[in-house]
Copies of this chain bind each other. A is one copy, B any other.
Amino acid sequence: MPRKTTTRERLIGTAAELFWKQGYAQTGVNEIIQQAQATSGSFYHFFPTKEDLLLAVVDHVAEIFETEVFGPASEAAGNAVERLFAVLEHYRQRLLDSGFIFGSPMGSLAAEVSENHPLVHARLVEIQTTWTERVEELLTDARDQLPHDLDRGSLARFVVSTMEGAALQARVTHSLALFDASVAQLRDYFSLLESPERHVEPIPVQVRPRPRMQPQAADWRSW
């Protein structure tokens, strides 16, 4: 892999950064070309339109999450819950390394782009779904540490929402305070879930079956 960076790769990489920093619409093609040290001709050779570049950037981001956030975390030490928090730790590191521009890159792109670019929007939803499934898998691996009546799908969605919200706010405030607070609270929640009085083994006799959310969530119709 001593191969040098190709023009195509440079274009995608710098476009990704500029899109995170300034948004898609605010970033001109010329700006990308200039900063990637390419030319107009080669740009339109690789990407017939700006939207094609956007799609490539989205895939690029998905790849980063795979290779630098979820991937490494799944090989982290400790039990499944620890691996889940390793995901957050890696996210945090990306946030820090990028000077806070890598905050909810999917979410903010989606917010800007969803209306006018259905193709891109569909891809973004797809990626987000993948993340939620990844988290749910980790929760399934951790099922023995968690209450047996836990709604893992719901908890996975919660984790992803929190992750994205915290990252977005870290980006906006240029500070990790909110991100760290959120992670700490999430850890506290997990430690309560893992506590013995809550963690009843799948034994017929159930100790004080505290009513879970679903019943009283009746008025929160889910669509």
Binding site for B on A (CB under 8 A): 21-26, 89, 92, 103-104, 107-108, 110-116, 121, 124-125, 128, 151, 153-155, 157-158, 160-166, 168-169, 171-173, 175-189, 191-193, 195, 197-198, 210, 212-214, 216-217, 220-223
Contacts and interface: CB of A to CB of B under 8 A. Distances in A.
Contacts of A24: 23, 25
A120 B125 CA distance: 29
A111 B104 contact: yes
Contact of A181 (B21, B115, B157, B198): B157
Contacts of A25: 23-26, 112
A23 B164 contact: no
Contact of A164 (B110, B168, B185, B220): B168
Q: Is the interface of A mostly helix, strand, loop or mixed?
A: helix
B169 A128 contact: yes
A23 B111 contact: yes
Nearest to A27: B25
Given A124-B172, A172-B124, A210-B195, A166 B161 contact: yes
Contact of A172 (B114, B158, B162, B220): B114
A206 to B, nearest CB: 16
B178 A161 contact: yes
A39 B6 CA distance: 49
Contact of A165 (B114, B154, B161, B221): B161
